[in-house]
């Protein structure tokens, strides 16, 4: 495989990582609004602290997700585990977008929100871990450090995309849209999941890695 083709392949993989981090970080950028919608304690500072606590729970669950999806990658396949984590992230983000607030379903709203954040953290840890292993296990790559750098560097674009999106929504949307405008960026996840699946269908697993995974699956 030529160097331009390798770079293009890993750029596509990294783009999926960026989109996943976009989903994961949107919650933090909309924390002030999400706190009022789902916790509604009557104090904005308390709502904000509770929202950031929920955001932090997603980070605490990331190592567990790396372990769970890493085991799945060993037994079935890295690409399967990585794509599954992407689908789970997409579904959890869509659930977050449609989840009713505290005024509608009461205490169930923050409880369900915390569960969604835990699932998102598991997904983020599983996707990123398998992506790095896919890169490091590809014996066709001569400069693995370079391609791992591509994976990491492009992935950080998700933070910037989430930041820009949230800024546009909060600054440009009318004031009477504040209760639901923050949900709009989460709706884009539907397009993201479909496009991500199409991208990965076109990527072939390296023969040696594929054989290893078939043996592991049988075992």
- The residue-averaged pLDDT of 58-83 equals 91
The pLDDT value recorded for residue 106 is 94
Total residue count of the chain as it appears in this document:
219
User: What DSSP character marks residue 205?
Assistant: P
pLDDT in tens, 2-20: 566 766 766 776 777 787 7
Torsion angle (degrees, nearest 10) of CA 208, 4, 70, 60 = 170
pLDDT in tens, 86-138: 888 888 888 988 999 999 999 999 999 999 999 999 998 898 888 888 888 87
The pLDDT value recorded for residue 198 is 57
Q: Which of the listed CATH numbers 1.20.1250.20, 3.30.70.100, 3.20.20.140, 1.20.272.10 matches domain 10-218?
A: 1.20.1250.20
The rounded percent of the chain whose pLDDT value lies above 70 is 80
Q: How far apart are CA 206 and CA 102, in angstroms?
A: 49
Q: Are 35 and 48 in contact (CB under 8 A)?
A: yes
Range of weakest confidence among 30-39, 58-67, 76-85: 76-85
Q: Which two tokens stand for residue 121?
A: 């953290």
Q: How far apart are CA 43 and CA 28, in angstroms?
A: 18
The pLDDT value recorded for residue 208 is 42
Q: Are 132 and 14 in contact (CB under 8 A)?
A: no
* Residue that is written with structure tokens 């995974």 in the block: 213
Radius of gyration of the chain (CA): 19
The pLDDT value recorded for residue 86 is 82
Range of weakest confidence among 130-144, 176-190, 200-214: 200-214
pLDDT in tens, 27-58: 889 998 999 999 999 899 999 999 999 999 98
Q: How far apart are CA 44 and CA 178, in angstroms?
A: 15
The pLDDT value recorded for residue 199 is 56
**Distance spanning both ends of the chain, measured CA to CA:** 31
Q: Could you tell me which residue, 155 or 78, shows the higher pLDDT?
A: 78
User: Phi, psi at residue 138, to the nearest 5°?
Assistant: -80, 100
Domain residue extents for the chain: 10-218
The pLDDT value recorded for residue 212 is 45
User: What DSSP character marks residue 173?
Assistant: S
Query: What sign results for the dihedral spanned by CA atoms 164, 101, 116, 95?
Result: negative
Q: HSE-up of 152 (CA within 13 Å, CB side)?
A: 9
Closest to 85 measured CA to CA, from 197, 206, 213, 199:
197
Confidence of residue 85 (pLDDT cuts 50, 70, 90): confident
Q: How far apart are CA 51 and CA 164, in angstroms?
A: 20
């Amino acid at each position: 495989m030529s160097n331009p083709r390798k770079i293009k392949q890993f750029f596509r993989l990294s783009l999926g990582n960026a989109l996943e981090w976009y989903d994961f970080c949107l919650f933090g950028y909309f924390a002030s609004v999400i706190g009022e919608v789902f916790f509604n304690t009557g104090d904005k500072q308390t709502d904000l602290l509770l929202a950031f606590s929920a955001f932090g729970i997603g980070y605490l669950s990331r190592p567990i997700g790396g372990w769970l999806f890493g085991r799945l990658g060993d037994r079935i396949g890295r690409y399967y585990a990585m794509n599954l984590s992407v689908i789970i992230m997409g579904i959890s983000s869509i659930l977050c977008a449609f989840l009713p607030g505290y005024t509608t379903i009461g205490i169930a709203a923050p409880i369900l929100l915390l569960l969604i954040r835990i699932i998102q953290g598991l997904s983020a840890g599983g996707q990123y871990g398998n992506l790095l292993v896919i890169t490091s296990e590809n014996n066709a790559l001569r400069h693995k450090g370079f391609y791992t750098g591509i994976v990491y560097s492009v992935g950080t674009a998700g933070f910037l995309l989430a930041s820009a999106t949230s800024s546009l929504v909060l600054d440009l949307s009318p004031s009477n849209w504040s209760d639901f405008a923050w949900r709009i960026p989460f709706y884009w996840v539907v397009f993201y999941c479909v496009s991500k699946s199409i991208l990965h269908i076109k990527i072939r697993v390296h023969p040696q890695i594929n054989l290893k995974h078939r043996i592991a699956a049988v075992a």
